Structure formats: structure tokens, C-alpha cells
């Protein structure tokens, strides 16, 4: 694969890797579950309910602990357990990109990642991208270039765009188009998304 090829998902995000890792992770989680629960819980905390798994995730710089069914995806954990609904569920199949988050700096489809697989890794969501009140350059460029319409795919687009810039895959408009093609936008803000990525790149230069 040469360096200008479109992105291959990381092992945790492509379908085959997912199934392999997921079944492994669930098995490990099931076996390790009582131990993990004892190891992670504060002495005063009651153990998780039977069948539940206590998971600690580092999200946007904070450790967050919650009790989950082992089969819970990272996406559903973020949205429904950690009150971070900015990350969106568009397909739950790994086909649309709306659920894109960063795990250890890489773009990952959170609908194809079990929460249990993300323990010990640094997770960044759309809520954690801005530095306080200051928008990330990609966020500001999306506003300025109208890089969205309905806004539903936008968190995923922005997380992909930020990674795309960091990866150095925004050298030309065609390269941006190719490397941003894993994020569907039915409103088709695509030309404006390209303009936003280009603008963020030029402003950061």
C-alpha cells in the first residue's frame, strides 16, 4: 500500500478484525470480569450487578467508569452511559462514519468497537476536540465554509478531518476527497467539507 492510498481501518475497526477481536474481548471480559471488577472498584463501591462489566474509559482526558453489558459498543457507551451524545449512530454497521472518534489518535468507528476493547486507550470525541472555548481549527472552518447542512454526520466528519490533517492526507483537494470518503453526508456538504479541510490546513500552516 503506498502512502497515498485511502485509509484502511485499523484492526479494531474493520469488520473481520472486529469479529476476531470482539469475540476475544468478550471471552476475556467474561472470564476476567469478577477480577476486573474487584481490581478497579473502590473498596466502598458495590461490585457490578451480575452479568455486568465494570469498565473504565479515558475519554477526553478524564477517566470514566461505568457498568456495562460486555457486548456494549463504544458508541452506545459514549452516547447512553457517559452522556456524550455528540458521536452519532448513522448505521451501526461501520458503513457511514458518523460514529468516528479518535482512539490513541487514530480514527476509529466506535460502532464496531466494544467499550471493553477501549480500556486503557485515550479516546477523544467531538466534545473533547475544542480547547475550552476555542474551537478546533477544523470546527471553525466547518462553520465558516458551511461544511454541513443537517449536522448529523458532522461530528464524525470533523473527527475524520482532524485526523486527516494530522496524518498529512490533505495535501490536495483530490486527496482530501479520497481520505474523507469514509464519512457519508446525505445532505452532500462534500464540496464545502473539502473547502473546510483545506481552510483549516491553510490556517494552521
Partner 1 sequence: MKDVTIPNPAPKLVGADVSRVDGHRKVTGTADYTADYNFPRQAWACAAKSTIAKGRIAALDTAAAEKLPGVVAVYTWKNRPKIFPPKKEDSGFMVAEHLAPLADDAIHYHGQDIAFVVAETYEQAREGAGLIRATYEETPAVAQFSAPKRETPGKIYGEKSHLEKKADGVASVADAWQASPTHIDVTYVTPMVHHHPMEPHAVIAKWHTNRLTFYAPVQWMYGARNFLAASLALPEENVRVISHFVGGAFGCKGSSWMFMLIIAAAARDLDRPVKFVIERESMFTSVGYRPRTTQRLQLGADAEGRLQAMRHLTESNVSEVGPFVEAAGHRATSVMYASPNIEIDHQVYALTVNAPTFMRAPGEAPGMYALESAMDELAVALKMDPVQLRLANRTANHPMSALPFSSRNLEECYRVAGEKFGWAKRPPTPRARLDGDWWVGWGMASASYAAHRSNASARIRVLADGTAEVACASHDLGTGTYTIMTQAAADELGLPLEKVSAQLGDSTLPEAPVSGGSQSAASILPAVQMACRSALAKLKALATSEADAPLHGVAPADLEAADAGLRVKSDHSRHVTYAALFERSGEGAIEATEKVDPSAETKDKREQPSYSRTTTAYQSYGAFFVEVHVHRLTGETRVRRIVTAMDIGQPLNLKTARSQVIGGTAFGLGAALSEHSLFDEDSGAWITRDLGTYHVPVNADLPEIDVSFVGPPDFKFNALGARGLGEIGNTGITAAIGNAIYHATGARIRELPITPEKILSSLDEA
Q: Does residue number 167 form part of the binding site for partner 1 (CB under 8 A)?
A: no
Q: Does residue number 26 form part of the binding site for partner 1 (CB under 8 A)?
A: no
C-alpha gyration radius of the chain:
18
Distance in angstroms (rounded) separating the CA atoms of residues 194 and 138:
11
DSSP 8-state code for residue 134: B
Q: Are 111 and 91 in contact (CB under 8 A)?
A: yes
Q: Are 114 and 101 in contact (CB under 8 A)?
A: no
- Return the residue of 187, 202, 203, 204 that touches partner 1, per CB under 8 A: 187
Identify any residues that bridge with 62 across adjacent strands, giving them in sequence order. 59
Q: Does residue number 158 form part of the binding site for partner 1 (CB under 8 A)?
A: yes
CB of 43 to partner 1, least distance (A): 28
Distance in angstroms (rounded) separating the CA atoms of residues 54 and 16:
26
What is the footprint of partner 1 within residues 29-68 (CB under 8 A)? 51
Q: Does residue number 17 form part of the binding site for partner 1 (CB under 8 A)?
A: no
Burial class (CB in 10 A: 0-12, 13-18, 19+), 39: exposed
- Return the residue of 34, 66, 89, 104 that touches partner 1, per CB under 8 A: 89
Identify any residues that bridge with 100 across adjacent strands, giving them in sequence order. 109
Distance in angstroms (rounded) separating the CA atoms of residues 155 and 161:
10
Q: Does residue number 191 form part of the binding site for partner 1 (CB under 8 A)?
A: yes
Q: Are 103 and 12 in contact (CB under 8 A)?
A: yes
Q: Does residue number 86 form part of the binding site for partner 1 (CB under 8 A)?
A: yes
- Return the residue of 29, 33, 74, 79 that touches partner 1, per CB under 8 A: 79
Q: Does residue number 121 form part of the binding site for partner 1 (CB under 8 A)?
A: no
- Return the residue of 109, 113, 123, 142 that touches partner 1, per CB under 8 A: 142
- Return the residue of 102, 148, 163, 200 that touches partner 1, per CB under 8 A: 148
| Interacting residues toward partner 1 by CB under 8 A | 51, 69, 71-72, 76, 79-80, 83-93, 95-96, 98, 125-127, 129-130, 135, 139-140, 142-144, 146, 148-155, 158, 174, 176-178, 180-194
Amino acid at each position: 500500500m503506498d502512502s497515498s492510498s485511502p485509509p484502511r481501518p485499523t484492526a479494531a475497526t474493520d469488520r473481520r478484525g472486529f469479529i476476531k477481536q470482539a469475540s476475544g474481548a468478550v471471552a476475556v471480559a467474561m472470564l476476567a470480569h469478577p477480577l476486573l471488577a474487584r481490581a478497579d472498584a473502590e473498596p466502598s463501591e458495590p461490585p457490578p450487578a451480575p452479568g455486568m462489566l465494570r469498565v473504565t474509559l479515558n475519554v477526553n482526558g478524564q477517566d470514566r467508569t461505568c457498568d456495562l453489558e460486555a457486548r456494549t459498543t463504544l458508541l452506545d457507551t459514549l452516547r447512553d452511559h457517559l452522556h456524550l451524545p455528540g458521536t452519532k449512530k448513522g448505521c451501526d454497521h461501520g458503513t457511514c462514519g458518523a460514529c468516528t472518534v479518535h482512539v490513541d489518535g487514530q480514527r476509529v468507528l466506535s460502532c464496531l468497537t466494544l467499550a471493553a476493547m477501549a480500556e486503557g486507550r485515550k479516546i477523544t470525541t467531538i466534545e473533547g476536540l475544542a480547547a475550552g472555548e476555542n474551537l478546533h481549527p477544523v470546527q471553525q472552518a466547518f462553520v465558516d465554509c458551511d461544511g454541513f447542512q443537517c449536522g448529523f454526520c458532522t461530528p464524525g466528519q470533523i473527527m475524520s478531518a482532524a485526523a486527516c490533517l494530522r496524518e498529512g492526507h490533505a495535501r490536495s483537494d483530490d486527496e482530501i476527497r479520497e481520505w474523507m470518503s469514509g464519512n457519508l453526508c446525505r445532505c452532500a456538504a462534500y464540496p464545502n467539507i473539502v473547502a473546510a479541510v483545506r481552510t483549516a490546513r491553510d490556517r494552521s500552516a
